[in-house]
Amino acid sequence: MQGSHGIIGNGEYKDTMMKKVRQLFMIEVGTFLFAFAIGMFVLPGNILSGGVAGITNLFSSYVPIDEDIMTILINTFLFVIGSIFLGKEFFLNTLVYSASYPVMLLLVTRLFPVYEIDTLLAALYGGLIGGIGVGIIFRNGGSSGGTDALALILEKYFRVKVSRTIMVLDALTVIAGLFIYGMNEVLIGLISVYLCTTAMERTMNIYNGVSAQKFEIISDQYEIISKEVHEIVKRGTTIVDIEGGYTGDKKKMLVVVVSEDQYEAIREIIDRNDPNAFVIISETKDVNGEGFTYEVRM
């Protein structure tokens, strides 16, 4: 019996490790796509965009530093600030991206040939490919760092919704280009930002083809799991009394509905606290209510 338990334990450990390796690999794929979009289209095309790439474009005319180097410096600074204010969770979620992105950006800008591309085409393809890359990163539990750190800090200390902060930051970055580049550049930049956001959302939904996931969790550790869902994922839970039809045993079932980008976080919480939990995951195509179709009340 002891030997069989050991085999099962080893099997579960191998499955967990394979899952982690796959997640890390997909985060690397997403990071490369994002670096490719920035290095091949956004920076050479002087496209006004949100995030660190947009900030780099705004200051490139005033700071005597190569744009790719400036992008790396700003990303590193924001990563350090985010780690200080947000702690270990942000540090670990962003570490893989932050370590890989500068290297991949340098490879793209230094090794790939430079083409003269129409500005509008650069905005279209830069936004599209970049959004796909970010969507892959988020869907596999990673973080793109950058201005996301500022949004997360505002959420933690001032309870400002992350998506709203990112939208405002991107809009302000692009609009600020009006005073330097002109209206045409701003309009093209807004197209790129819109395509990036749309591609990111579509990529995240392609994984399962739905807008949300419902978890029904039967576990003796339901209280701990529920607490971590509240604290880490920021989602509400429902505890339901259930009774086994065959055994008659009375248990508790935890129900939680999350968005696509929170799927892996919930799975990790369950696996960490109770690998033997009985879990039903349902594809939910239409979710209405607090936290989905309207903001969470503070």
**Per-residue pLDDT tens for 229-285?**
999 888 889 999 998 888 888 999 999 998 777 888 898 899 999 999 999 988 775
Is 265:141 a contact under the CB 8 Å cutoff? yes
The pTM of the whole model exceeds 0.75:
no
44-to-39, 108, 119, 175, 191 alpha-carbon distances in Å:
7, 12, 9, 20, 17
Is 43:68 a contact under the CB 8 Å cutoff? yes
Residues 106 and 132 reside in one and the same domain: yes
Question: Is residue 289 in a domain?
Answer: no
Question: Last residue of a domain, which of 206, 230, 247?
Answer: 206
Would you call 7 helix, strand, or coil by DSSP? Answer: helix
Confidence of residue 215 (pLDDT cuts 50, 70, 90): very high
Residues 257 and 109 reside in one and the same domain: no
User: Looking at residue 134, what is its pLDDT?
Assistant: 82
> Cα-Cα-Cα-Cα dihedral of 124, 129, 133, 134, to 10°?
0
Residues 151 and 73 reside in one and the same domain: yes
Give residue 274's domain range. 209-284
State how beta strands 212-218 and 238-243 pair.
unpaired
Question: Is residue 292 in a domain?
Answer: no
pLDDT for 125-173, tens place per residue? 999 999 899 888 877 766 777 887 887 788 778 877 655 677 778 878 8
Helix ranges (DSSP H) in the chain: 2-37, 51-59, 67-86, 88-111, 119-139, 148-158, 162-176, 183-206, 222-228, 263-273
Is 55:66 a contact under the CB 8 Å cutoff? no
Q: How many CA atoms lie within 13 A of 258 on its CB side?
A: 23
Residues 100 and 152 reside in one and the same domain: yes
Residues 256 and 173 reside in one and the same domain: no
Is 137:97 a contact under the CB 8 Å cutoff? yes
Write the DSSP symbol of residue 289. Answer: S
Highest averaged pLDDT of the listed ranges 10-19, 115-124, 200-209? 115-124
User: Looking at residue 237, what is its pLDDT?
Assistant: 92
Phi, psi of 265 (to 5 degrees): -65, -40
C-alpha to C-alpha distance for 35 and 33, rounded to whole angstroms: 5
The chain-wide mean pLDDT, for the chain, equals 81
pLDDT at 11 over 80: no
Q: Which residues pair with 252 in a beta bridge?
A: 241
**Backbone region of residue 216 per phi and psi (left: phi > 0; alpha: psi in -120 to 50; beta: other values):** beta
Question: Last residue of a domain, which of 206, 238, 271?
Answer: 206
Phi, psi of 35 (to 5 degrees): -65, -40
**140: amino acid identity, one letter:** N
Write the DSSP symbol of residue 63. Answer: S
Question: Is residue 78 in a domain?
Answer: yes
Locate 157 and state its tokens. Answer: 């200390």
Location of structure tokens 């929170």: 262
Residues 199 and 217 reside in one and the same domain: no
User: Looking at residue 193, what is its pLDDT?
Assistant: 83
- Report the domain count for the chain: 2
C-alpha to C-alpha distance for 166 and 296, rounded to whole angstroms: 17
Confidence of residue 22 (pLDDT cuts 50, 70, 90): confident
User: Looking at residue 295, what is its pLDDT?
Assistant: 47
